[in-house]
Structure 1
Amino acid sequence: MTIKQRLLLSNILLVVLPVAAFFVIEILLGYVFFVFLGQSLNENNIGTFTAARLILFALAIIVINSLLILLLSRTIIKPLNKLRAAAREIGRGNLEFSVDTSGNDELSDLAREFDDMRLKLKASKELNEAYIEEKRTMIESIGHDLKTPVTSIQGYVDGLIDGVAATPEKRKKYLRTIAAKTRELDKLIDELSLFSNLNMEESPLEKECIELDQFLSHIIDEAKLELEDEKIEWSYEHPTEIDIVIPADRMKLSRVFTNLLNNSVKYRCRENHVIDIRLSRTGNDAVVDIKDNGRGIDREVLPKIFEPFYREESSRNKKTGGSGLGLSIVENIVRSHGGQIDIKSEQGEWTMATVKLPLSEVQNDQSTDYRR
């Protein structure tokens, strides 16, 4: 029953109940006074009867009003007091304090809205706490990643200043190491800048229509040339009967596949390392699968690999270290193109990254050759 209906009912009862009480008192008191007690109808007895009737009627009015007020208090004032107490607790920062949301009246609706607000505040508070913790972790990770090459550079520079590198060969070795660490530092700063711009949406896409087969062939050829001394078996499967054209930012898309290929090389565990790349078309999407027979990823950590600064290995060693931003950047770029990326793996056996990107509406007329 709604509050409006309760107030209307209480107003009706304020009229009906006193009238009913008057007749009940009149009949019962008359019966008791003149029949049961056998009083005669004289002036004194009638006066006494009238006084008793007025007193009982007044008491009945008081009792009826008290009961109605108590009823309204229980159904209106009590829930309002509970809401006030809940608001006070929330004002103190206690978001675990909930209110009773049962019922079908306006106050119950208000209680439900109030509790929804409390839950949203609680979720917002938890999200903010998680954001603060993530920000703290990111700052620590950035500090660590920047400090590592800087410390190394400082050590080699001190060695050159102090004359530790006494021979030309040793000085040349020191300088090559400093140059390598500088490039590592520059790459880290570049990834941090790109990651920040992608998250702040400050890095607009310069899209063009790209013929994906030629684009991937070019990236694979570059990787083969760079890793020609490594024992890697490359396999590239692609359709020959149709062109697969997508609208994409060439530079950013190149970073996606270069990063995925570098990861396949970085986490190898066999002498005969194999990288299989497959290009296909599914519905309105171009699909690129990159599979290797590397060390794989633990199932427990697989959902975390796109988190910024996350690395599966506990130690940040030189062989598999890095900024921990690679896959996070890859995911951001793919999503900014309206695509999806999924990584599946079997630890110790294989890992496969699948990238889906939407096709161009007009493929053949707008296809772009990477050699242009």
Structure 2
Amino acid sequence: MKISLKKTFRFAAISAFYISIFGGFVVLVMVKKMINLPFQNLLIFVLVFFGFIYLYTFLVLQYRVEKFIYRRVKKIYEDISLLESSTFIEKPITTDIEELTREVKKFATSKKLEIEMLKVREQYRREFLGNVSHELKTPLFTVQGYLSTLLDGAMDDKTIRKKYLKRAEKGVERLIYIVEDLDMITKLEVGDLNLDFSEFDIVDLIQNVFDLLEMKADKKKISLAFDNYHIQPIFVYGDKDKIQQVLENLIVNSIKYGRESGLTEVSVINLTKKKVLIRISDNGEGIESQNIPRLFERFFRVDKSGARSEGGSGLGLAIVKHIIEAHKEKIYVESEFGIGSEFSFTLKKAQANNLKNIL
């Protein structure tokens, strides 16, 4: 810790002046009464005395007061250094009270913000651990229940044995699904997941996702469609597999929260010469405004009971956000409760599209 005293002489100078004036006046009266000196000699004597007493008083006050203040200020710095504030303890010690007040106030404000942020993170950590525990516990207890039943004697019945083993297998598959999603989101957050960039037709990819989810949508009689039936191929640049995962997660969500006999519509819009906007909209139940800021949090569910009955790891939208951000793109959400929702994200156009636009 550097020590750099900033001298502030004003207090010592003014105090020494008052003391010297008083001392000079007392000496003047005493000398005049005790010794009969000419006025000129008396004035010189008083001025010399005033100068000496002023200098002595000033030095004593300056040294004593500054040392007194410095010791206490240094103690403040040492106490603060226990909090390991690298931004504060690296600064030189100052005995300027106004400057010290500003520094301490600035330090206190930064610590207050840091504490508030830690409280938010701690709350988030507790919620996250609670959610992970709940998500893993449900399939684990399901598997454990079926296996225990089989071990207790149901294994002898071939029909029951086959049915319970299949159900246990589904529980294990759900566990694997949750663990794989957790592994992926961890890699995405730390930037440890390599993206395989290539040029591909986003329209064709969307159609493939429609084909994969057609049966799931048919169960709720939800139609999957482009907003423009005659949409032309549009080539984009990104990780095809990860973008397919984004589309699947968003469309599955629209089916999961969609109305019976509803509609999920996808559109691809030429946003700029270098960007396209992929928009997934539905006429489902919508999302309440207070829930929108938390949609992309891990394990956050708008309708917890309903969402869990539909399955899923609760990590879909968090993964979507991280994949889009890994592409250095943006994702947006708009929703009106009772009317429907719209998720959209940007992607970079392939060079062939850029040349076509320029020509």
Matched, 1:354 2:344: yes
CA–CA separation in structure 1 for the residues paired with 2:69 and 2:282: 64
Per the alignment, residue 221 of structure 2 pairs with 231
Per the alignment, residue 132 of structure 2 pairs with 142
Per the alignment, residue 319 of structure 1 pairs with 309
In the alignment, which of 196, 204, 226 is matched to residue 206 of structure 1?
196
Shift, 1:227, TM fit: 3.8
Query: SS where residue 187 of structure 1 aligns?
Result: helix
Seen in structure 2, the aligned counterparts of structure 1 residues 346 and 256 have a Cα distance that, compared at 3 Å, is same
Shift, 1:225, TM fit: 4.3
Q: Which has more radius of gyration? A: 1
Instruction: Give the residue type in structure 2 aligned to 1:203.
Output: L
In the alignment, which of 228, 231, 250 is matched to residue 240 of structure 2?
250
Equivalent pairs counted in the alignment come to 340
**For residues 1-372 of structure 1, what are the structure 2 equivalents within 5 Å?**
45-46=36-37, 50=41, 54=45, 57-59=48-50, 61-63=52-54, 66=57, 83-84=73-74, 86-91=76-81, 112=102, 115-164=105-154, 167-238=157-228, 243-268=233-258, 270-283=259-272, 284-315=274-305, 318-363=308-353
Seen in structure 2, the aligned counterparts of structure 1 residues 318 and 81 have a Cα distance that, compared at 3 Å, is same
Shift, 1:262, TM fit: 0.8
Q: Is the 8 A contact 2:301 2:307 kept in 1?
A: no
Query: SS where residue 149 of structure 1 aligns?
Result: helix
Per the alignment, residue 41 of structure 1 pairs with none
Structure 2: gaps of 5 or more residues? 89-94
TM (normalized to structure 2)? 0.76
Shift, 1:163, TM fit: 2.3
Instruction: Give the residue type in structure 1 aligned to 2:276.
Output: A
Structure 1: gaps of 5 or more residues? 38-43, 99-104, 367-372
Query: SS where residue 37 of structure 2 aligns?
Result: helix
Seen in structure 2, the aligned counterparts of structure 1 residues 308 and 77 have a Cα distance that, compared at 3 Å, is farther
Query: SS where residue 309 of structure 1 aligns?
Result: coil
Q: Is the 8 A contact 1:245 1:364 kept in 2?
A: no
CA–CA separation in structure 1 for the residues paired with 2:344 and 2:283: 15
CA–CA separation in structure 2 for the residues paired with 1:331 and 1:322: 16
CA–CA separation in structure 1 for the residues paired with 2:314 and 2:182: 10
CA–CA separation in structure 2 for the residues paired with 1:199 and 1:286: 25
Moved more, 236-245 or 187-196: 236-245
Per the alignment, residue 91 of structure 2 pairs with none
Seen in structure 2, the aligned counterparts of structure 1 residues 78 and 360 have a Cα distance that, compared at 3 Å, is farther
Seen in structure 2, the aligned counterparts of structure 1 residues 173 and 318 have a Cα distance that, compared at 3 Å, is farther
Instruction: Give the residue type in structure 2 aligned to 1:54.
Output: F
Instruction: Give the residue type in structure 2 aligned to 1:212.
Output: I
CA–CA separation in structure 1 for the residues paired with 2:309 and 2:160: 23
CA–CA separation in structure 2 for the residues paired with 1:46 and 1:88: 58
CA–CA separation in structure 2 for the residues paired with 1:47 and 1:187: 108
Q: Is the 8 A contact 1:243 1:363 kept in 2?
A: no
Instruction: Give the residue type in structure 1 aligned to 2:226.
Output: Y
Q: CA RMSD in A?
A: 4.5
Query: SS where residue 338 of structure 1 aligns?
Result: coil
Q: Is the 8 A contact 2:220 2:260 kept in 1?
A: no
CA–CA separation in structure 2 for the residues paired with 1:183 and 1:203: 23
- Cα deviation code 1:87-139 (max 9, x no counterpart): 355346599xx9xxxxxx98756654554444444434443454344334323
Shift, 1:195, TM fit: 0.8
CA–CA separation in structure 2 for the residues paired with 1:311 and 1:119: 35
Identical counterparts, % of pairs:
24
Q: Is the 8 A contact 1:309 1:324 kept in 2?
A: yes
Q: Is the 8 A contact 1:238 1:279 kept in 2?
A: no
- Cα deviation code 1:214-254 (max 9, x no counterpart): 11121112211454444112221259676432211111111
- Cα deviation code 1:137-186 (max 9, x no counterpart): 32332222112101101100111122246644333321221122122111
Instruction: Give the residue type in structure 1 aligned to 2:53.
Output: I
Seen in structure 2, the aligned counterparts of structure 1 residues 154 and 279 have a Cα distance that, compared at 3 Å, is same
Shift, 1:51, TM fit: 6.2
Shift, 1:255, TM fit: 0.8
CA–CA separation in structure 2 for the residues paired with 1:155 and 1:122: 49
Seen in structure 2, the aligned counterparts of structure 1 residues 111 and 285 have a Cα distance that, compared at 3 Å, is farther
Seen in structure 2, the aligned counterparts of structure 1 residues 324 and 189 have a Cα distance that, compared at 3 Å, is same
Instruction: Give the residue type in structure 2 aligned to 1:275.
Output: T
